Structure 1
Amino acid sequence: MNAGTLLNWVDASYVFLAAILVISMQMGFALLEAGSTRMKNAGHIAGKQIISFAIAGLFFWFAGFAVTFGEGNGFIGWSGWMLQTGAKGEDKVFASLSWADIPLALKFLFQMAFAAVSLAIAWGGFAERAKFSVYLVFGILFTTIIYPVIGHWVWGGGWLSEMGMQDFAGSTVVHLQGALAALVATLLLGPRIGKYTKDGKPNLLPGHNQVYSVLGVIILWIGWFGFNAGSTMSVKDGFFGYIALTTNLATAAGAIAAMLIARAVLGKADITSMLNGVLAALVAITAACAFVEPWAAVIIGAIASVLTFFTSLYFERKGVDDPVFAFSVHGVAGIWGTLSTGFFASPRLVEYTGIGQAGLFYGGSFHQFYVQIIGVLGAAVYVALISFIILYALKATIGLRVTPEEEIVGLDLSEHGAYGYPEHLESAEKPAYIAEINPKTLSRTLDMRLQQRAE
């Protein structure tokens, strides 16, 4: 085995490991979202991650990968459906990924994992009141006509790529897209029952298991090393180690900044704020991890954390019931992370990556910042518009939201016929929300279970 063959084998193994780390983030989202929502919805919230990942795996293979990376024009790819390259060959059909010298199957697996993460983020805005059928329809369309289009613009040789937009691992492509879809869903669905008083003041609807949420964030933190460092798709020169360094520095700074700001504003070191700070910093550094110096990574992570803290409070007070703060964590931080390279992109790292230009603090030019703004605005308009059209059409046809009775009893029972915590349902102390239900409006399965409980 010669040196070149050995390097190819190592690169392929590295990308496979990175893909597994990114896929493992689905466990993190399941624990984070289930822990951050109420007990009566825990099984539903966690279980939907299985279908979410299955949808991404199938439909990104069928069409999404081709739209993202296939041969096409500046706006969309239109070749390579179901990974078929034909007589042209892989390097022609998927020229935008030809820089990575690994098998096409591994390129797909790694990129599919990214699409699945973006879809998982979107589900945050649907939590605790959306129909399960809506997840299915929107998930299919998200992974075929929403996520892939922005992916093509930035990573697939599209018009933003030609402009030199810097988004190394997806602050915009992955996180902002998912966050905007979540925000549109949140607005169209409306607040959860009991979230706001009659005069519009928010009530606290605490998650049922903070330990789950913490474990979920730790899993996401670990998985992010595959997300960011794995995006080199190679071990050559060890640059992946540098990206891991900036990623971890930003995240640590985000955690500390969140703890301090929560202590200053709320009077307590609020755990939810700390978790959001960690995630916000991870989201922000995702775009910048390959372009900024370590000191800048610390600043980017800390600012992202503070922005997320205040915007999450602001949106909640304005009547936006975002159960897991998806837009503040992934949207606001995603915007900041994408724009940050316009300030902090280092000349030596820009030269190494060959993407874009140095930031304002080095070159004195607004060019890169301007490109980043255009990228954020272009992505935001497309994702928000298409998400709105799809979800509004679903609302007008099959409906987005479960009935009030089904929402009160919880989606575990009303959508799946099984409670995530059956011991609680069978306990001597009847759950408070059972008394609020009119059994005649529920499904036969739910009627039967309530009757059994009453007996």
Structure 2
Amino acid sequence: MTTKFSKAGRIVPALAITLLLAAPSMAFAGEEYLTQTHGNILWTLIAAILVMFMQAGFACVEAGFSRAKSAGNILMKNFIDFAFGSIIFFLFGFGLMFGIDAGGFVGTSGFSLAGIGFTSPDAQWTLTFWFFQSVFAATAATIVSGGIAERTKFSSYLIVTCIVTGVIYPISGHWAWGSLWLGDSGAGWLEGLGFMDFAGSTVVHSVGGWVALAGAIVLGPRIGKYAADGKAKAIPGHNIPLASLGVFILWFGWFGFNPGSTTTADGSIGLIAVTTSLSGCAGTVAAMFTSWFRFGKPDISMTCNGALAGLVGITAPCATVTPAAAIIIGLVAGVLVVLSIEVIDKILKIDDPVGAVSVHGVCGAWGTLACGLFTAPELNDGAGGLFYGGGFSLVTPQIIGIAVCFVWAFGAGLIAFNIAKAVMGIRVTAEEEMKGLDISEHGMESYNGFQIFSNE
């Protein structure tokens, strides 16, 4: 299997990408081709499994940063994000995201495993590629659940997660990544502008963050979050060790998220792993010192979010920046996430229990912009970013991509939540919220015999 760089600067498979439309028989290039193909399949499958395990990390982070009385509800949402999301992405989302392009805005070919066979190398790659993309779709949906925690009807959330994985994520994903499957015949309009997002700072993380922002606005804050004078009150999570463990699990899974996005088993994965790790480390350090300066103590939850901020920030530029640049990107993300959480919470008065909007939306936008600033010419076919003398040739497409994906994801998120609100209502009653969603929505406690019914 050979590889190429797409217009987005991302390494992609260049095998029989017209597999679903072409004749089933192909001439293979011998033992070397088969060896590379099988290596690519193995690496991409391992990476996909790592990304799937990130669902466990999200579950721990979101449950730990929420109150005990709604921890089980968070876990249920993480389960259905993956279960519902994978099926919806199989039936609808994949075709919209990777089908034949229609005017740059949406893919039009359906996706079906029927008739492609299961034993040829190309059919095996088809299955692997779909699985890898499905776990990304589930990740985008899972980001949403944290921002709307502790007050959302579970039945309504089912509608939202289906819309996210079936429509919102695939359509904007097509704009930036459409060529990854059918080459130029599937390329979206952002790719045509030169937009770069290697592993999804915007395509996955910001899209999920902006939908979460829309949901938090439609739902309103949790009871007791804001005093009568509008002052924000802290509602601490019930299990910081669990949340911290979740961050480490996510960090571990990110080595599938970023290096796995090569979908090829080659030497580039080493550089991507290094930039990913260094940016996460820098984000951790920056958030710790920023919270220390702002609050007088090195805040644990802010430090955890700083690690995630650094990882989100490097997701777009991980393949095209140097390790030194990755540290700078992570440092900026770590500072940015603390300040963003404060602005959203205290000034905008939007209740985001886990900081999903700041970590994924804001820092995802920063990481996407960083592509245009820090891309090294030797890692991008000679085209460098602003800080490498490339002017605004790479910056401008990044700004356009950030803006249009915000408008799309936030706007579509508002529509999705209002659809759910109109169909069955979106928020639990005040009594149910005070009692906790575990009992009111699922009829059981996460910590049987230890539940304390308090809103403090």
Q: TM-score, normalised by structure 1?
A: 0.88
Distance 1:85 1:351, change over 3 A: farther
C-alpha distance in 1, partners of 2:113/2:324? 41
Give the structure 1 partner of residue 242 of structure 2: 212
Determine if the alignment matches structure 1 residue 384 to structure 2 residue 410: yes
Any idea what the Cα deviations from partners look like across 1:123-178, whole Å, max 9, x if unmatched? 11220000001111011111111000011000001001111111000000000000
Aligned alpha-carbon RMSD (Å): 1.9
2:319 aligned partner: 290
Aligned to 1:69: 98
CA contact (8 A) 2:116 2:123 kept: no
Q: Structure 1 residues 86, 220: closer, same or farther in 2, change over 3 A?
A: closer
**Retained in 2: the 8 A contact 1:11–1:102?**
no
In structure 2, the partner of 1:33 is 62
Match of 2:400 in 1: 374
User: Counterparts in 2 of 1:107-186, with a 5 A limit?
Assistant: 107-156=129-178, 157-186=187-216
Whole-Å Cα distance in 2 between the matches of residues 40 and 418 of structure 1? 10
Q: Match for residue 83 of structure 2?
A: 54
Name the aligned partner's letter for residue 60 of structure 2. L
Q: Structure 1 102/333 Cα, relative in aligned 2: closer, same or farther at 3 Å? A: farther
Secondary structure (helix, strand or coil) at the match of 1:194 reads coil
Question: 2:115 & 2:157 partners in 1: Cα distance?
Answer: 31
Q: Which amino acid aligns with 1:190?
A: G
CA distance in 2, matches of 1:158, 1:85: 27
User: Which position in structure 2 is the counterpart of 1:349?
Assistant: 379
Structure 1 residues 44-69: Cα deviation after superposition (integer angstroms, max 9, x where no partner):
11122111100111000001011111
Kept after mapping to 1: 8 A contact 2:69/2:453: no
1:273 aligns with 2:279: no
Partner of 1:193: 223
Describe the shift of the 1:43–1:375 C-alpha distance in structure 2 as closer, same or farther (beyond 3 A): same
In structure 1, what is the Cα distance between the partners aligned to 2:123 and 2:111? 21
Once the two structures are TM-superposed, the CA of residue 86 in structure 1 deviates from its matched residue by 7.5
The residue number in structure 2 matching 1:317 is 346
Which of 101, 104, 110 is 1:80 aligned to? 110
What is the deviation of 1:72? 2.4
Q: CA separation of 1:164/1:311 partners in 2, compared to 1, >3 Å: closer, same or farther? A: same
CA contact 1:308–1:333 (8 Å) conserved in 2: yes
Displacement over 4 Å in runs of 4+: 83-87
Listed one character per residue, the Cα deviations across residues 282-321 of structure 1 (whole Å, up to 9, x for unaligned) are: 0010001011111110000110110110110111102111
1:221-236 alignment, distance < 5 Å: 221-236=251-266
Give the letter for the 2:275 counterpart. Answer: T
Give, in angstroms, the shift of residue 382 of structure 1.
Answer: 1.1
Task: Give the AA of the match of 1:338.
Answer: T
Q: Distance in 2 between matches of 1:242 and 1:261?
A: 28
Q: Distance in 2 between matches of 1:172 and 1:81?
A: 24
Aligned counterparts of 1:309 and 1:85: Cα–Cα separation in 2: 51
412 and 230 in structure 1: CA distance in 2 versus 1, 3 angstrom threshold: same
Where do residues 325-344 of structure 1 align in structure 2 (5 Å cutoff)?
325-344=355-374
CA distance in 1, matches of 2:194, 2:163: 28
Q: 1:10 offset after TM fit, Å?
A: 1.5
Give yes or no for contact 2:201–2:364 (8 Å, CA) kept in 1: yes
Report the more deviating stretch, 389-398 or 26-35.
Answer: 389-398
- Once residues 342 and 271 of structure 2 are traced to their aligned partners in structure 1, the CA distance between those partners, rounded to angstroms, is 34
Residue identity in the other structure for 1:144: G
Output the TM-score relative to the length of structure 2.
Answer: 0.88
Take 2:405 and 2:115, find their aligned partners in 1: how far apart are those partners? 28
Q: Secondary structure at the match of 1:81?
A: coil
Alpha-carbon separation, structure 2, partners of 1:166 and 1:432: 48
CA contact (8 A) 1:28 1:216 kept: yes
Cα drift, residue 84 of structure 1: 5.4
Deviation at 1:80, TM superposition (A): 2.7
Query: Structure 1: which 5+ runs fail to align?
Result: 88-97, 426-430, 437-455
Please tell me whether the aligned partners of residues 40 and 419 of structure 1 are also in contact (alpha carbons under 8 angstroms): yes
Q: For residues 412 and 395 of structure 1, what CA distance do their matches in structure 2 show? A: 21
Please say if 1:433 is aligned against 2:433. Answer: no
Partner AA of 1:336 in structure 2: W
Q: 1:18 aligns with which of 20, 23, 47?
A: 47
Q: Which residue of 2 aligns with 1:363?
A: 389
Q: Any idea what SS the aligned residue of 1:422 has?
A: coil
1:424 corresponding residue in structure 2: 450
Contact 2:435 2:453 in 1 (8 A): no
